[in-house]
A and B are shown apart, each in its own frame.
Chain A
Amino acid sequence: MMQWVKKIHKWVSLLIGLQVFIWVLSGLIFNVIDHNKARGNAYRQAISTKQNIIAEKDLLPVESILAAYPDTIELSQTTLLSKPYYLLTKEQALYQHFANTYQLVNAISGELTIVDKQLATDIAKASYNGPGNITSTTLLTGNIADFTKQKNPSWQVNFSDKLQTSVYVEQGSGRLVGHSNSDKRFANFFFMLHFMDYNHEGSFNNVQIIFFAFVTLWLTLSGLVWAIHLLRLGKYHKKYI
Chain B
Amino acid sequence: MEQSTINTTHVKKINRKPIRLLSLSHKIHKWLALLIGAQFIIWSITGAYMVFFDIDYIHGDSLIINHQNKIQPEHLTYSSKALFRQYPQAENLSVGLLIDREVYRFNVNSQKYIVDATNGDLLSPLNKNKALALAKHAYSGRGELISAELITADPPFELSARHLPAWRINFDDFGSPALYISANSGKIVTKRHEFWRLFDWMFRLHVMDYDDGENVSNWLLFIFALLAIFATCSGLVLSYYKAIKPIIRQRKKAIKSSKYIGENNTLSMDDKS
Contacts and interface: CB of A to CB of B under 8 A. Distances in A.
A224 B55 contact: no
Interface in B71-98: 71, 73, 76, 79-81, 84, 88, 90-97
Contacts of A53: none
B92 A217 contact: no
Interface stretch (A20-28, A108-116, A134-142): A20-28
Interface in A15-56: 17-18, 20-21, 23-25, 27-28, 30-32, 35, 56
A209 interface: yes
A199 interface: no
A203 B242 contact: no
Contacts of A21: 229, 232-233, 236
A73 interface: yes
Contact of B244 (A14, A62, A205, A227): A14
Contact of B238 (A13, A76, A77, A220): A13
Contacts of B61: 94
A219 B226 contact: no
Contacts of B30: 230, 235-236, 240
Interface string A199-241: 0000111000110011011011101101100110001100011
Contact of B31 (A32, A213, A219, A241): A241
A31 B238 contact: no
A77 B225 contact: no
Contacts of B41: 220-221, 224
A223 B97 CA distance: 57
**Interface size class of chain A, counting residues whose CB lies under 8 Å from the partner chain:** 35 or more
A219 B29 CA distance: 14
A182 interface: no
Chain B interface size, under 10 / 10 to 19 / 20 to 34 / 35 or more? 35 or more
Contacts of A18: 236
B33 interface: yes
A71 to B, nearest CB: 5
Contacts of A30: 216
A66 interface: yes
Contact of A92 (B68, B228, B244): B68
A-B pairs with lowest CB-CB distance, top 10 = A57-B84, A28-B225, A76-B94, A66-B73, A220-B44, A74-B96, A213-B48, A75-B95, A67-B73, A21-B232
Interface of B: 27, 30-31, 33-34, 37, 40-41, 43-45, 47-48, 50-55, 61, 64, 66, 68-71, 73, 76, 79-81, 84, 88, 90-97, 216-218, 221-222, 225-226, 228-229, 231-233, 235-236, 238-239, 242-244
8 contacts: A13-B235, A14-B239, A21-B233, A28-B222, A94-B64, A224-B41, A227-B37, A241-B31
